[in-house]
Amino acid sequence: MDRLSKLENDSIYIIREAYYQFKDTAALWSIGKDSTTLLWLIRKAFFGEIPFPVIHIDTTYKFKEIYEFREKYAKKWRLKLLVCKNQTALDNGVCPKNGKLNCCSELKTNTLKQAVKRCGLRALYLGIRRDEHGIRAKERFFSPRNKNFDWNYKSQPPELWNQYAAKAENEEHMRIHPLLSWNEIDVWRYIRREKIPVVRLYLASKGRRYRSIGCAPCCAPVKSGAGTIDKIIEELQKSKISERGGRAQDKESAYMMQKLRSLGYM
Amino acid sequence: MQKPALPIVIIGDVDHGKSTLIGRLLYDTGSLPADKIKEIKEASKNLGKKPELAHLLDCLEEERKKGATIDTTQVFFKINNAEYIIIDAPGHVEFLKNMITGASQAKAAIIIIAADEGIKEQTKRHAAIISLLGIDSVIAAINKMDLVNFSQEKYNGLKEEAITALSRIQIKPLLFIPISALKGDNALKRSKNMPWHKGATISEALNLLQKKSSQRKQTLIFPIQDIYTINKKKIAVGKIESGSLTKGQTLIALPDKKTIKVRSIAKFGKKRHNAGEGESIGIITGGAIEPKRGDILSQTNEYPEITISFRATIFWMSEDSYLKNNALLIHCATQQANCKITKIHRRIDSATMQTLGENAEKINHAEIAEVTIETQNAIAACAFKNIPAIGRFVLTHEKNILSGGIITDIDKNKAG
């Protein structure tokens, strides 16, 4: 079995295992390439119909291409789409200009906290990967979070031999990470193989493209001539700049991601 | 076709250079993004330390400060188109469960021994776990050769010592390699400082491990994960752990030993005629019974045993001790059954592998034990060395994984 098929089959196993344990669940869809790949795998796991809601945490600062993509594929894939915003924070003027850490934590983390509580979710599927960021390399496939969304990375449950019976003290919900073993180029190769649609911001236009997309004010494009998926894969094979190089929240300080993440950031 | 990456765990004592070796491999294979190097330099500067290769992995803030790995980490790199995943496991005793989480995913291991300190208790403990997890592709690297002036005599002494210590825990390394992870000797490049070493470099050894990991043909083991109703049809889903199945084939469902016919094989978007090892599929069935979660589907002419009692070697990860005959839940593939440990034949110190007691009443944290487990209901099981997928299990209580283990013997007198 080739690498992509192994990754696909293993991810589907994890998705099904999580659904067996948790029915009150939802997938987080940022509309980026990873979470879109995640939805693709979930659709495969359930033979086309995702049996739970798909949540988009909408900071309202996303690129317009993201919103267009969301509308098109939510319809095409018959998703039970839930768009969640932290309206109170937005009304209070929270925005990237008034502090990035606070903005991420209010408009993303707190929005998600509200959604988890409102919908009574016991588990959340996320498309994070180990190779994205050092701290994410420490994640488990099933990773418990308490009600404050704290991630106790110093004392995580053991996980072995595809047994995910994990439950931590005071657990509030379980984060499910089916893409944990994938790396960036695997995702692109899989997108090419499966012909998965992606937001066109990933493809170069006028010599620049986005390697990672999120909120428009906090994402910078990289120099690139890669206008097709094939070219992106070729470019990544040669690249020496890491994927999240254009992401502001990873940059403010070396440990910002770690702080965000232990506070419940995705 | 691209082969799946070979997962390798690196084990050894604190400060013997596990993370440094990984950093070295990443650096020498050009697997490091430029901005990552910059980030590490910056973080090290903030802590008032020199940038170190080990920092690539020890990404967590407190790990950098303390200079030790807390949890398990995975990184990827490539040598000559063969891909590797390195699992860096923590060296401290309190991180045993993280070590096991990391190591249970590995198919091969590198044991690191620092030349200035020799084989330590922790290294033996980790090696014992490797042995217990059934990983037999092992190479040993004697690191920090630069600290002993690249001395061949010193190396030979350490090698002898390690061979003796490791053989006590049933580990025979395929190769020994003298290295300096810090300076790069015999990692990717052959060392100019140790011309006396004619054996493999780490890079060559990895290539050997990759070749050795080719799979064997096995009995069909298809554990049912769940049953979905799609378009009014019931589909039994799961991942084939070993062997293969074909449309139209009659299978046996264990532990009930009822036959089931594979009417069709479903994968999203395509109908399949057959499916093999590692595939997550769904099947629509006919026959005497409908499959359910926990059933193990196998061939009618060759299937694993059904039992309510077996011998196993377990490692106790929980900090709470276990008292004989207390209730547990066993998870073996997708099977689940109430069980208890009815006999603790031997308790073993996981560091020294010395017997701590026989016919014991309890098992403590970080101990290895040879036990008899009895289940309330019959399960399909097999010695780990014959069929790994149903020869390994975890024990839980209230959804916490307390222990993991492998089956060494099925009690034939207690067939289900």
More confident residue, A33 or B94: A33
A144 shares a domain with A14: yes
Query: Which strand (E) or helix (H) includes residue A256?
Result: helix A256-262
Closest CA to A57 of A81, A90, A96, A30: A30
Q: Can you give the pLDDT at residue A155?
A: 64
- pLDDT for residue B357 is more than 80: yes
Q: In terms of CA atoms, which chain A residue is nearest residue B82?
A: A3
Q: Is residue B288 classed exposed, middle or buried when 0-12, 13-18 and 19+ CB atoms within 10 A define those classes?
A: exposed
A156 shares a domain with A52: yes
For tokens 């009822």, the residue is B258
Q: Give percent of chain A above pLDDT 90.
A: 52
Q: Is residue A71 classed exposed, middle or buried when 0-12, 13-18 and 19+ CB atoms within 10 A define those classes?
A: exposed
Residues of B in contact with A258 (CB under 8 A): 59-61
The region of weakest confidence among A238-252, B55-69, B304-318 is B55-69
3-state helix, strand, coil in chain B (%, to 5): 25, 40, 35
Question: What contacts A110, CB < 8 A, 6 or more positions away?
Answer: A86, A89
Question: What contacts A2, CB < 8 A, 6 or more positions away?
Answer: B1, B2, B3, B4
Query: Which strand (E) or helix (H) includes residue B248?
Result: none
- How far apart CA B168 and CA A253 sit, in angstroms, is 48
A216 shares a domain with A144: no
pLDDT digits (tens, 9 = 90+) for B161-197: 999 999 988 889 999 999 999 889 999 899 999 999 9
A98 shares a domain with A217: no
- pLDDT for residue B337 is more than 60: yes
Identity of the residue numbered A177? H
Q: Residue B51: pLDDT band by 50, 70, 90 thresholds? A: low
Domain boundaries, chain B: 6-212, 222-299, 305-414
Beta bridge partners of B307: B379, B415
Cis (ω within 30 of 0) for the bond into B255? Answer: yes
Q: Can you give the pLDDT at residue B299?
A: 94
A26 shares a domain with A156: yes
Q: Can you give the pLDDT at residue A84?
A: 94
Average pLDDT for chain A = 85
- How far apart CA B39 and CA B36 sit, in angstroms, is 5
Q: In terms of CA atoms, which chain A residue is nearest residue B283?
A: A47
Residues of B in contact with A168 (CB under 8 A): 400
- pLDDT for residue B401 is more than 60: yes
Q: Can you give the pLDDT at residue B1?
A: 47
**Average confidence (pLDDT) over B339-347:** 96
Q: Can you give the pLDDT at residue A249?
A: 52
Q: Can you give the pLDDT at residue B285?
A: 93
**Average confidence (pLDDT) over B353-375:** 92
- How far apart CA B302 and CA B345 sit, in angstroms, is 31
Domain that holds residue A215: 186-250
Q: Give percent of chain B above pLDDT 70.
A: 82
- How far apart CA B43 and CA B297 sit, in angstroms, is 52
For tokens 């983390």, the residue is A109
List the CATH number of the domain containing A138. 3.40.50.620
Q: Of A2, A5, A20, which is closest to B226 when you measure between CB atoms? A: A20
A201 shares a domain with A139: no
A236 shares a domain with A145: no
Beta strands B250-254 and B82-88, pairing class: unpaired
Q: Can you give the pLDDT at residue A101?
A: 85
- DSSP designation for B25: H
Closest CA to B212 of B111, B137, B106, B135: B137
DSSP string, A117-147: HHHT-SEEE----GGG-GGGGG--SEEEEET
- Number of domains into which chain A is organized: 2
Q: Can you give the pLDDT at residue A96?
A: 85
- How far apart CA A2 and CA B406 sit, in angstroms, is 28
pLDDT digits (tens, 9 = 90+) for B136-167: 789 999 999 999 999 999 999 999 999 999 99
**Average confidence (pLDDT) over A218-234:** 90
Q: How many residues does chain A have?
A: 266
pLDDT digits (tens, 9 = 90+) for A3-20: 899 999 999 999 999 999
Identity of the residue numbered B234? K
Average pLDDT for chain B = 84
Q: What is the CATH number of domain B6-212?
A: 3.40.50.300
Q: Can you give the pLDDT at residue B70?
A: 42
Shortest alpha-carbon distance between residue A49 and chain B (Å): 9
From the centroid of its chain, how far is CA B28? 26
Q: Residue B11: pLDDT band by 50, 70, 90 thresholds? A: confident
**CB–CB of A47 and B228 under 8 A?**
yes
Q: How many residues does chain B have?
A: 416
For chain A, what is the largest distance between any 2 Cα atoms, rounded to a whole number of angstroms?
Answer: 53
A208 shares a domain with A132: no
Interface test with B, best of A25, A153, A160 (most B CBs within 10 A): A160
Residues of B in contact with A129 (CB under 8 A): none
pLDDT digits (tens, 9 = 90+) for A92-136: 988 888 888 888 889 998 999 899 989 999 999 999 988 776 666
Instruction: Could you please state the CATH topology (level 3) that the domain comprising B222-299 is classified under.
Output: Elongation Factor Tu (Ef-tu); domain 3 (2.40.30)
Q: Can you give the pLDDT at residue B66?
A: 47
The Cα-based distances of B290 to A20, B132, B293 in angstroms read: 18, 36, 10
Shortest alpha-carbon distance between residue A85 and chain B (Å): 31
A166 shares a domain with A111: yes
Q: Can you give the pLDDT at residue A153?
A: 61
More confident residue, A16 or B59: A16
**CB–CB of B401 and A46 under 8 A?**
no
**Average confidence (pLDDT) over B30-52:** 64
- pLDDT for residue B67 is more than 50: no
A136 shares a domain with A33: yes
Q: Of A6, A46, A241, which is closest to B4 when you measure between CB atoms? A: A6
CB atoms within 10 A of CB B307: 23
Dihedral pair phi/psi, residue B290, rounded to 5°: -90, 135
Beta strands B274-276 and B138-143, pairing class: unpaired
Q: For residue B414, what are its two tokens?
A: 């207690």
A75 shares a domain with A14: yes
Question: Which CATH number is correct for B305-414, 2.40.30.10, 3.40.50.1240, 3.90.1150.10, 3.40.190.10?
Answer: 2.40.30.10
- pLDDT for residue B214 is more than 70: no
Q: Residue B37: pLDDT band by 50, 70, 90 thresholds? A: low
The Cα-based distances of B72 to A136, A139, B133, B166 in angstroms read: 11, 9, 16, 23
**CB–CB of A13 and B1 under 8 A?**
no
